[in-house]
Copies of this chain bind each other. A is one copy, B any other.
Amino acid sequence: MINKLIEKIRKTNAPIVVGLDPMLSYIPSHIQEKAFQEYGETLEGAAEAIWQYNKGIVDAVYDLIPAVKPQIAMYEQFGIPGLQAYKKTIDYCKEKDLVVIGDIKRGDIGSTSAAYAVGHLGKVQVGSKKWAGFDEDFATVNPYLGSDGVKPFIEVCKEENKGLFILVKTSNPSSGEFQDRIIEGRPLYEWVGEKVAQWGEEHMGSEYSYIGAVVGATYPEMGKVLRKIMPKTFILVPGYGAQGGKGADLVHFFNEDGLGAIVNSSRGIIAAYKQEAYASFGEQNYADASRKAVEDMIADISGALEGRR
């Protein structure tokens, strides 16, 4: 799956991923009203609004991008109907041949991680049959529990040709509270990064490992160091746009081959129509605004990468 992701990045010339993290407040009123008319102001109504909103965005941008990253929390907050919209979104994106990164940040003791891995990336045995629960292509994983909480995910990836992005240095303001603490002269996130590189070494695609890392765009200097600690690791970079990261901050997340990273933007793309720069599209044309925002993001990042050469 890492090979497919890289191939699609090359083809689109866009090392970016669109974060499908819908909030009801982002969704144009005509979509909300229609969904509520059909299902009422219920969890089902919210789920329908999310799904229609996502579909509009995916239809408008799928040819420009290699991948999407739905954040499961934004669906899980609407209970079972929300998770049905999550699954519907995954299936639709896969129909459009997009690589789907499930931003699930799961991680637990071995047997429990195995269940998450099977549910999100693999197939679960039921009697004589096997079924896929969510079937994302990649999943994000939390490393706090150590190797035996991560390995069951790696095993399922190996079997099923899927991949992971493991949290190393997260994009949020307080990520340093534990992640930056110094252990034998080096911050925790470097130790985690080293582990990710080790786990990845034995699990290689053609050029990069299918065991990737998450490093926030908001910490470019740390990204530079981690890039070197994890040379064969693909880095998922959240925090671009709304969280403050800019194209110029991102060049050091990439290797000299122009690969090795994929930058996520969520709100900046899916709620572009709410920004001054794209307001002229209007609420009705929110998806066109998202397309323009994707084009601008690609230009920003490509420009920064070319500027480096």
Contact = CB atoms under 8 A, between A and B. Distances in A.
Interface of A: 21, 24, 32, 36, 41-43, 45-46, 71, 73-74, 76-80, 82-84, 87, 105-110, 112-113, 115-116, 118-120, 124-129, 131-134, 142-149, 167, 170-179, 181-184, 188, 191-192, 195, 238
Given A76-B119, A77-B116, 7 more contacts: A43-B124, A45-B127, A73-B112, A78-B133, A79-B131, A79-B134, A109-B170
Contacts of A131: 42-43, 78-79
B115 A73 contact: yes
Contacts of A105: 106-108, 142
Per CB-CB distance, the 6 closest pairs between chain A and chain B, nearest first, are A79-B133, A146-B177, A41-B127, A146-B174, A77-B119, A109-B172
B108 A73 contact: yes
B191 A181 contact: yes
Contact of A74 (B112, B129, B145): B112
Contact of A179 (B76, B77, B144): B144
A82 to B, nearest CB: 7
Contacts of A41: 126-129
Name the residue in A84, A113, A145 with the highest tally of chain B Cβ atoms < 10 Å from its Cβ: A145
Contacts of A144: 142-144, 167, 170, 178-179
Contact of A195 (B116, B120, B177): B177
A29 to B, nearest CB: 11
Nearest to A47: B126
A126 B39 CA distance: 11
B82 A133 contact: yes
A133 B78 CA distance: 5
29 contacts: A24-B125, A36-B127, A41-B129, A43-B133, A45-B127, A46-B126, A71-B112, A73-B106, A76-B115, A76-B120, A77-B116, A77-B124, A78-B124, A78-B131, A79-B87, A79-B134, A82-B133, A83-B83, A109-B171, A144-B170, A145-B175, A146-B174, A146-B175, A146-B177, A149-B174, A181-B188, A182-B183, A183-B183, A188-B188
A126 B82 contact: no
A14 B58 CA distance: 52
A178 B143 CA distance: 8
A24 B84 contact: no
Contacts of A148: 172-174
Name the residue in A79, A110, A120 with the highest tally of chain B Cβ atoms < 10 Å from its Cβ: A79
Nearest to A122: B77
Contact of A178 (B24, B128, B173, B192): B192
A288 to B, nearest CB: 25
Nearest to A143: B178
Contacts of A76: 115-116, 119-120, 133
A119 B82 contact: yes
A207 B49 CA distance: 44
